[in-house]
Structure 1
Amino acid sequence: MKATAAEPGATGPGGDCSTHGSAPKPESTVARYGFIDALRGFALLGVLVHHVVPRVDGLPRVVKQIAAAGGEGVQLFFVVSALTLFLSFDSRRGTQARPLTAFFLRRFFRIAPLFYLAAVFYLWYDARWPDAARPSAAAILATLGFVHVWHPDWANRVVPGGWSIGVEMEFYLLVPLLYARIRRAETAVTAALVSLLAGGLLSTVVAAGLPRVLGTDPRAAGLFSWYWLPAQMPVFFLGITLYFLVRKRLRSPSAGRDPGRIRGRVLLTTAAYLLAAATISDLHLYLGHALFGVAFVLAGWGLSLCPSPVLVNRVTRGIGTISFSAYITHFAALDLAEGGLALAGTAGLSPLAALGMLLATTLGLTVAASLITYRLIEIPGQQLGRWFIAWSERRRLPAAGSAHPAAAGAGRPGTRPPSAPPDSSLQPEERDLDATKAGRAR
């Protein structure tokens, strides 16, 4: 899709930074921002590198360090999630009779259809190996209920990487309360610092106590103390901080070339420095985690001001569009790519050449599979969620009287009135269906 000046992700004259790149392009009732899709794309690429590199022996240490840092792509997903959910609340405030019901239905049908089918697929996939240990019925039920991350042995037992999906779903339960209570960036920063200290202390105690109390394997206990929600809350609060930094800019972008592009470049440069420092530094797990989170906030803020075409383009936005499907499918794609290359006789390649081939093959298979699952599973699941929301709204309206729900009161301080066009929910389930069918890139 060719970017235009009015389209999210586009740039100003000569490819320079311009607020046009951040301005929303209405799609029926919602708008989208290319830089957020690009952030999702980079998050997926980081996770992919993180899982591919350990499959290749003999790589330089710096490559392994980069791969280890790529695992923080999950935390970038969390930052973007908090940002988009708060923006979504802004855009929908006062427009629905049952906003909480609509929110939770939208969240459930955004995640559950693909996740449940992934559980079925990976149960079948793992069953092909006679020596593989089978997950217990309790682990399967906990996974389907999105509480699997609270058991040291269940976090990734059914769906690979499923711990992050469980954490995301648990965060959804807190979003309405956090949106109502956090009104300023300073509050979000304070919450991030408090949760960093409290979460780190609590996780350390749990990691040390589980092996003694429950006889849990120390390594499993350590992973559990990293996977569960308390350890991830600082990153979500940083995403909320990013929301306060960018929301005003996204609502009223200036036309033409903007001095904000200079500030955007400074923020992006600072973010790149912090990412490099966090990658090569041997920091304590939680300190490094926080440093990456700060870098992601600066990168998101910088891209909102200066969506450089090097970073925000058709490729990165496209990968971001299918990032949830890609996260689910890339584990199987990696196995398939590794097996295929082994059969092709690539054992004689240098480590870097082997890594390049494995990365390219895995990415290609992941994108191909994800385009299918996105269109055949994610979008129909989102349509079903919309149907349930509409049904719930129809049931509510007679009891609410003739007044439109938007007339219930003024909006959140600092937000637009409900009568104005919504800002952006920025979630794939909330894009216009006709535009989706037309194949418009996210």
Structure 2
Amino acid sequence: MSSRLAYVDALRGFAILGVIIAHAGSIAGLDGRFGMLAGFAGMGVQLFFVISAFTIFLTFARASSSESRPVGNFFIRRLFRIVPIYWTGILLYTFIYGLESRGWRPGPELWHYMLHLTLTNVLHPETSSSVVPGGWSISVEVLFYFTMPIWFFLVGSVRSAALFTVAAMFVAMAGIPIIRTIIDPVLAYDNLDEYWTRSFLSQLPCFGFGFILYFLTVSPSNPLRLLGRPIPNACVLAAAPIAFVTGYKLALPLHYVVCLASLMVGAALSQMPWRILVNQITTFVGRVSYSAYLLHFLVLQQLSEHTHSLGTLPRFLILLTLGTVITIPIAYLSYRAVEIPCTSLAKRVILNRERHAAHRKLVSA
């Protein structure tokens, strides 16, 4: 990614660090204010969604101006980006745990694997994260990919992106309670509140905030130009946590509030990437964040077996520190061994498609 977009990788870095904080806190049994703060950090997942929507619109816009089959190529890029490392995660967790619990949810049954292999596991409350811990968010991401051609067509400006986001939030907040009156008695599952919060319908508005960020940053009128100055930029950065706290006190859906705060931070950093936030460390962590996301569950779970005798806070600090220090290098190896080769393969496949398309066009002419 170009240095101009280094802030995007940095945001990914903060997202994965937040997720590690949340899961370290969960294992350690943090409660009270510390537990609440650690739980909030887990909403780095929603930051991932905002960034994903932003980068997808950015890459698709570039592809549309230079490729003959941008929609098909989009799916090829996403296929090679997501599936290989996720399937590697399926193999890894199955090799280590078999059909036993991964430490976070009850162990999977054999029928769960079909949903995980197709990355539709978030559609059923028993399968969302049963094979690969945290797999629910990857499944939401993939379902979002399936709908992207619709949003490419419908969303073309800051205004339409904002309308989409508001409409999606309204549909989720008004529609899910109605749907639950019909579906919940059939599902008869214990933790249905979490299931519906993590559902695609509930999470879709998060991607809308990424749409807004994209159109704000590419608009010819440059609506963010004021944020190129230090004081206004710092004010927006400072206002982001205030917006989150305000939304929390108003009992608004937290995953939407954190997306609004993420939009504010992303807009500020797009105009002024402060060195303390956007640097070699945060961007490096961001580049390996996908592998880190899938691997950190395993690392934390293994560490937890050796920290039972510690108090809650010391255990959390050790899990967080060692979990991060161990996860990131392993994630880098995964990034080099799996992610980069698969991304390169996708580029070659797309290049061949474009050559064939150009050849057919030349012949038909």
Asked whether 1:308 is paired with 2:258, we answer: no
| CA positional deviation for 1:206 | 3.5
Residues 1:277 and 1:125: Cα distance change in structure 2 (over 3 Å): farther
RMSD between aligned residues: 2.8
Aligned position for 1:335: 301
Q: Which runs of 5+ in 1 are unaligned?
A: 1-7, 9-23, 26-31, 405-442
Given that 1:149 and 1:155 are in contact with CA atoms closer than 8 Å, whether structure 2 keeps it comes out as yes
Given that 1:188 and 1:237 are in contact with CA atoms closer than 8 Å, whether structure 2 keeps it comes out as yes
> CA-to-partner distance for each residue in 1:372-409, whole Å, 9 max, x for gaps?
100001111112212221222222222122799xxxxx
Asked whether 1:35 is paired with 2:3, we answer: no
| CA positional deviation for 1:138 | 3.0
Map 1:278-357; keep pairs closer than 5 Å: 278=247, 281=249, 283-284=251-252, 286=253, 288-342=254-308, 347-348=309-310, 350-357=311-318
Aligned position for 1:12: none
Distance in 1 (alpha carbons) for counterparts of 2:346 and 2:140 = 21
What is the letter of the counterpart of residue 52 of structure 1? Answer: A
Q: Percent identity?
A: 28
Distance in 2 (alpha carbons) for counterparts of 1:294 and 1:53 = 24
Aligned position for 2:196: 225
Asked whether 1:85 is paired with 2:59, we answer: no
Aligned position for 1:191: 164
Given that 1:206 and 1:225 are in contact with CA atoms closer than 8 Å, whether structure 2 keeps it comes out as no
Map 1:71-110; keep pairs closer than 5 Å: 71-110=42-81
What is the letter of the counterpart of residue 80 of structure 2? Answer: F
Asked whether 1:246 is paired with 2:217, we answer: yes
Aligned residues: 363
Distance in 1 (alpha carbons) for counterparts of 2:118 and 2:221 = 36
> CA-to-partner distance for each residue in 1:109-162, whole Å, 9 max, x for gaps?
000110011111112222285999653343211111121211121111211111
Map 1:43-442; keep pairs closer than 5 Å: 43-57=15-29, 59=30, 61-127=32-98, 129=100, 135-212=108-185, 214-219=186-191, 221-248=192-219, 259-278=228-247, 281=249, 283-284=251-252, 286=253, 288-342=254-308, 347-348=309-310, 350-401=311-362
| CA positional deviation for 1:210 | 2.9
Distance in 2 (alpha carbons) for counterparts of 1:394 and 1:228 = 40
Larger radius of gyration, structure 1 or 2? 1
Distance in 1 (alpha carbons) for counterparts of 2:229 and 2:364 = 42
| CA positional deviation for 1:209 | 3.3
Corresponding residue SS for 1:158:
coil
Higher relative contact order (CA 8 A, sep 6+): 1
Q: Which runs of 5+ in 2 are unaligned?
A: none
Bigger helix fraction: 2
Distance in 2 (alpha carbons) for counterparts of 1:130 and 1:104 = 33
Residues 1:369 and 1:91: Cα distance change in structure 2 (over 3 Å): same
> CA-to-partner distance for each residue in 1:196-227, whole Å, 9 max, x for gaps?
11112222233443331x242141x2222122
Given that 2:13 and 2:287 are in contact with CA atoms closer than 8 Å, whether structure 1 keeps it comes out as yes
